Amino acid sequence: MGIFCKIAAMLGFGSTDKNEQESSPAEPEGKAAESEQQSQQKTETVKPMVSSIKKYVLIGAGPASVRAAETLRKADGKCIITMIGLEKEVPYSRMALPYYLSGMIEDTGTHLRKTDNHFESLNIVHIHAKVEKVEPKQQQVTLENGDVFEYDKLMIATGSRPANSPFPGADNDGVVNCWTLEDGRKIINSIKPGSKVALLGAGFVASIIIEPLIKRGADLTVMMGRTGQMVSRMMDETAGGMIKTWCESKGVTTILPSSIKSIEAGPALKRDDDSLTEFDLIIVATGVYSNIEFLEGTGIKTDAGVLVNAALRTNVRHIYAAGDVAQGVDFSTGSKAVHAIQPTAVDHGRIAAVNMMGGNSTYKGSLSMNVLDTAGLISTSFGSWGGVDGGETATLVDMDNFKYVRLNFKGDKLVGAITVGRTDYIGVMRGLIQSEVPLGEWKEKLIEDPTLLMNAYLAQSLDVARAS
């Protein structure tokens, strides 16, 4: 098991590990999934509607829809489940794309379920088509080809898509995104050892595909974010700077967006001095948008995503939303946020399905969690990683050895954290933030020495256990 897989397992990032891929409605769920779900299961009561055969339509065929479909089937053997996804693929995990790019797995290794007839065997109908219209009054959805599906309950799990390139010319040959399995195939087919590759963007996706691109032998140029920093939406300046320096030490050339005017045929980048730099491949990874446009005129409230309550219901009767497209409660702030990570999508799918069947399951909010492997340097951020107003922060920086720890406190509770180059505190950080355990006297000790985190966790968790 590689380092990333180990971390992923600690965090319950299920899709690429066995628990997630192999669990089926007919089997008890794996241990990791169990612990992830324990708190919520206590409040769930599933009441399958047995009076008539119900029709469930799920828009999207990613992790959120797959988990929802399986949850529905597990509770109700007779209902009609239609899962509609626009890609001509079996359901797969985007999260596995870096492993596919690096050659660690074949494209079948990205599949969310391993048996060929998994969905057929569960009588889950998977249609490969684009949904164009949702009509809540008629309780129906219309596909691009005009086919109409009626529903009793509808779940929107259309995820997101890459943002357009900030530069003109992205429609030139040799310019791709890195979002779908098809994108992955194009990237693999375009890169040979020594190929010149420009990666436009330095956010989450960009930073985790640097390693596989280097592994394929690419001569890599990476464009930083607008701030000149890497991963500025999930790491502070110190961490982002460390990751950038690390990449440069691995032979990656870094450039600023201000040095680019346009993408030209070739493909090539037209630079600020009007010179052309040719590449074999240009990968655009400059952010994502939720797929919500097709909901216009439906009355379904949207913001950055589809707004949902703790039951994953939208404001429109019989319609739910889950996964990357859903904007639900943020554990740290209580406000609504899109947390585009797979564990959230899977939890959402399950909870939405329970509620669609008339159950009562609530989502207590997703914790912002990011784990990145950037050219072999592991970094993480959790919760309020940038700190909170009136809170205190402890940091430990070792620039030379690419090691960094930042702990953010509100009162005597840990509310956010960042690490670079350390994997030993990851489970503890998440545990302390999510359990909101008061640290008491340990807070001052941690401000003095953040490496005492494990000691603080053990001491305080034991206190809480003794008191309960």
Ligand X SMILES: Cc1cc2nc3c(=O)[nH]c(=O)nc-3n(C[C@H](O)[C@H](O)[C@H](O)COP(=O)(O)OP(=O)(O)OC[C@H]3O[C@@H](n4cnc5c(N)ncnc54)[C@H](O)[C@@H]3O)c2cc1C
Residue 179 sits in the site that holds ligand X (CB under 6 A): yes
Total residues contacting ligand X by CB under 6 A comes to 34
Minimum distance between the CB of residue 30 and ligand X, rounded to whole angstroms?
17
Q: Which is nearer to ligand X, 162 or 266 (CB)?
A: 162
The tokens of 78 are what?
Answer: 């007779």
Contact 209, 373 (CB under 8 A): no
Residue 85 sits in the site that holds ligand X (CB under 6 A): yes
Q: Which is nearer to ligand X, 211 or 219 (CB)?
A: 211
Binding mask 49-68 for ligand X (x = CB under 6 A): ----------xxxxxxx---
List beta partners, residue 188.
none
The tokens of 170 are what?
Answer: 């992205």
In the list 169, 203, 225, 323, the residue contacting ligand X (rule: CB under 6 A) is 323
Contacting residues for 183 by C-beta, under 8 A, at least 6 apart? 97, 176, 177
Rg (CA), the chain: 23
Residue 151 sits in the site that holds ligand X (CB under 6 A): no
Residue 86 sits in the site that holds ligand X (CB under 6 A): yes
The one segment of 152-160, 187-195, 256-264, 356-364 that binds ligand X by CB under 6 A: 152-160
Please identify the residue of the shown chain whose CB is closest to the bound ligand X: 323
Q: How many CB atoms lie under 10 A from the CB of residue 115?
A: 11
Minimum distance between the CB of residue 280 and ligand X, rounded to whole angstroms?
20
**Upper half-sphere CA count for residue 337 (Cβ side, 13 Å):** 18
The one segment of 114-122, 157-165, 188-196, 214-222 that binds ligand X by CB under 6 A: 157-165
Chain-centroid distance, C-alpha 168: 28
**Upper half-sphere CA count for residue 24 (Cβ side, 13 Å):** 12
In the list 23, 82, 139, 158, the residue contacting ligand X (rule: CB under 6 A) is 158
Of residues 333-362, those binding ligand X (CB under 6 A): 340-343, 345
Cα separation, 385 vs 47, in Å, equals: 39
What are the backbone angles phi and psi of residue 328, rounded to the nearest 5°?
A: -120, -170
Cα separation, 290 vs 205, in Å, equals: 15
Minimum distance between the CB of residue 423 and ligand X, rounded to whole angstroms?
15
Contact residues toward ligand X (CB under 6 A) are 13, 59-65, 84-87, 94-95, 97-98, 130-131, 157-159, 178-179, 205, 208, 291, 294, 323-324, 340-343, 345
